[in-house]
């Protein structure tokens, strides 16, 4: 089945009780049993819910995986993966990634005895060099948030396999429409479904997809035991969002390409970070493992003062100043003070995330309107 068809039909079965084409919102906490222990596969909604089950099937299908699990947020999905580990286990993670993932690792989990080692994963040799006998998990993001660095998933999967460690890829930025890490050897794919999967900035949700049944059972046990499950209404919204993922991603990619090139040609703009530029260091790998370059772009201004960045950030009209990404409407964000404020400044600067960096989530409005908005703001 072609990708565009799959996005619409993934997990969609007419409701068995009425034939409703859309999976209903099963707003219930429990299910009546015919006799003690005799039920229809549903006992209590923390463990099972039909709306969630439809979405879990859908996310598995669109990520070319066997099993999906959906959580109350992206970080809750990440939290579940880390709970697979034991004290003393080591995690190798990308040095440039979502600030909330870093915060979860360092401020919540480090004190339980897990060790997190950060390396520049764009060079697989750095990952290989960091492997020890205690390495149990490699955590990747590609493209990264917000510097759009590209890591070769296949190369890291080979290192993980040799180390006997799991590889989990946060695929939020690419979306399953542009990249499928399981096909490249990852063990788990994680998404903040809040972003492109939902696509309409109206829900907080996360998911995991995997192929291994034993791994699925372990993660399901954590999901059920720790309870970070989403409500059925949110599952319905994401199911609906996935139906338009193909058309939205095509529009995000087309607008992203136009705006990235426009920014690059603007004399007031400094470095532009977008993996579709042929001179981007990750271009060859991105072309190999992605089907498009997406709508996320970061850039610096030639005048790299924080004041100038703040002036531009406050001047756009169509690009709303807000955290988050992946919705139909365009957003502009200042990673240093917003999404990545939880990363110490020293570490941020060392990893290339300057105070003046501006991140765009390019929406699906008309590209000319978006460019006009940026042109006025940049001045």
Ligand X SMILES: *Cc1c(COP(=O)(O)O)cnc(C)c1O
Residue 291 annotated to the active site: no
The reply on whether position 294 binds ligand X by CB under 6 A is no
- In this chain, which of 23, 73, 289, 316 binds ligand X, going by CB under 6 A? 73
- In this chain, which of 145, 298, 354, 361 binds ligand X, going by CB under 6 A? 145
CB of residue 196 to ligand X, shortest distance in Å: 10
Window contacting ligand X (CB under 6 A); options: 10-18, 67-75, 123-131, 329-337: 67-75
Q: Give the bridge partners for 139, in sequence order.
A: 93, 168
The reply on whether position 170 binds ligand X by CB under 6 A is yes
The CA distance from 22 to 24, in Å, is: 6
The reply on whether position 204 binds ligand X by CB under 6 A is yes
Secondary structure class of 87 (helix, strand, coil): coil
CB of residue 92 to ligand X, shortest distance in Å: 17
- In this chain, which of 65, 74, 146, 327 binds ligand X, going by CB under 6 A? 74
Q: Which of 325, 341, 366, 315 is nearest to 148 (CA)?
A: 325
Task: Copy the structure tokens of residue 94.
Answer: 């990308």
Catalytic residue among 6, 79, 96, 98: 98
CB of residue 74 to ligand X, shortest distance in Å: 2
Name residues whose C-beta falls within 8 Å of residue 119's C-beta, 6 or more positions apart in sequence: 92, 93, 94, 95, 126, 127, 129, 130
The reply on whether position 172 binds ligand X by CB under 6 A is yes
DSSP assigned state of 211: S
Residue 31 annotated to the active site: no
Window contacting ligand X (CB under 6 A); options: 94-102, 208-216, 293-301, 349-357: 94-102
- In this chain, which of 61, 68, 95, 98 binds ligand X, going by CB under 6 A? 98
Residue 224: HSE in the Cβ half-sphere, 13 Å Cα cutoff: 12
Closer residue to ligand X, CB minimum distance, 237 or 377: 237
Task: Copy the structure tokens of residue 315.
Answer: 């001047």
Closer residue to ligand X, CB minimum distance, 332 or 377: 332
Residue 218 annotated to the active site: no
Window contacting ligand X (CB under 6 A); options: 88-96, 98-106, 289-297, 359-367: 98-106
- In this chain, which of 6, 83, 136, 195 binds ligand X, going by CB under 6 A? 195
The reply on whether position 359 binds ligand X by CB under 6 A is no
Secondary structure class of 213 (helix, strand, coil): helix
Cα distances (Å, whole numbers) of residue 298 to 37, 254, 343: 55, 16, 18
- Rg of the chain taking only CA atoms, in angstroms: 21
Catalytic residue among 15, 46, 154, 183: 46
Cα distances (Å, whole numbers) of residue 197 to 250, 269, 292, 359: 14, 31, 16, 20
Q: Residues of 283-296 as b/e, b for ≥16 C-beta within 10 angstroms?
A: bebbeebbebbbbb
Residue 170 annotated to the active site: yes
Burial (Cβ within 10 Å: 0-12, 13-18, ≥19) of residue 329: middle
**Range 9-38, binding ligand X (CB under 6 A):** none
**Range 206-225, binding ligand X (CB under 6 A):** 206
Angle between helices 245-265 and 367-378 (to 10 degrees): 40
For residue 136, say if its preceding peptide bond is cis, omega within 30 degrees of 0. Answer: no
Q: Give me the residue whose beta carbon is nearest to ligand X.
A: 74
Closer residue to ligand X, CB minimum distance, 80 or 285: 80
- In this chain, which of 23, 101, 298, 361 binds ligand X, going by CB under 6 A? 101
The CA distance from 300 to 266, in Å, is: 11
The reply on whether position 192 binds ligand X by CB under 6 A is yes
Closer residue to ligand X, CB minimum distance, 141 or 301: 141
Catalytic residue among 79, 96, 152, 170: 170
Q: Which residues contact ligand X (rule: CB under 6 A)? A: 73-75, 98, 100-101, 141, 145, 170, 172-173, 192, 194-195, 204, 206
Residues acting as catalytic residues: 46, 98, 170, 195
């Amino acid at each position: 089945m072609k990708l565009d068809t799959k996005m619409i039909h993934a997990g969609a079965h007419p409701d068995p009780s009425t034939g409703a084409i859309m999976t209903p919102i099963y707003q219930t906490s429990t299910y009546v049993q015919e006799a003690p222990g005799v039920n229809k596969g549903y006992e209590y909604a923390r463990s099972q819910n039909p709306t969630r089950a439809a979405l879990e099937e859908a996310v598995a299908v669109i990520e070319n995986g066997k099993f999906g699990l959906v959580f109350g947020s992206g970080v809750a999905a990440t939290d579940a993966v880390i709970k697979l580990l034991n004290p003393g286990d080591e995690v190798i993670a990308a040095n440039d990634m979502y600030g909330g993932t870093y915060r979860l690792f360092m401020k919540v989990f480090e004190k339980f005895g897990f060790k997190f080692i950060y390396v520049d994963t764009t060079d697989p040799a750095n990952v290989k060099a960091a492997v020890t006998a205690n390495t149990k998990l490699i955590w990747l993001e590609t493209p990264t948030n917000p510097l759009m660095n590209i890591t070769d998933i296949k190369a890291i999967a080979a290192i993980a396999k040799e180390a006997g460690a799991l590889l989990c890829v946060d695929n939020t930025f690419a979306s399953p429409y542009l990249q499928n890490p399981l096909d490249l050897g990852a063990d788990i794919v994680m998404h903040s479904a809040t972003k492109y999967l939902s696509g309409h900035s109206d829900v907080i949700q996360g998911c995991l997809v995997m192929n291994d049944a034993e791994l699925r059972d372990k993660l399901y046990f954590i999901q059920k035991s720790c309870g970070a499950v989403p409500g059925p209404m949110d599952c319905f919204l994401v199911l609906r969002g996935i139906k338009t993922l193909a058309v939205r991603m095509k529009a995000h990619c087309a607008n992203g390409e136009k705006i990235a090139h426009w920014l690059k040609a603007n004399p007031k703009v400094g470095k532009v970070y977008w993996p579709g530029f042929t001179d981007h260091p990750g271009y060859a790998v991105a072309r190999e493992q992605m089907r498009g370059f997406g709508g996320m772009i970061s850039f610096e201004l030639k005048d790299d003062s924080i004041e100038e960045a703040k002036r531009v950030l406050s001047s756009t009209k169509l690009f709303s100043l807000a955290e988050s990404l992946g919705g139909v409407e365009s957003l502009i964000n200042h990673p240093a003070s917003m999404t990545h404020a939880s990363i110490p400044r020293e570490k941020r600067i060392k990893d290339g995330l300057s105070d003046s960096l501006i991140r765009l989530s390019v929406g699906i409005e008309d590209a000319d309107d978006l460019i006009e908005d940026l042109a006025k703001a940049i001045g």
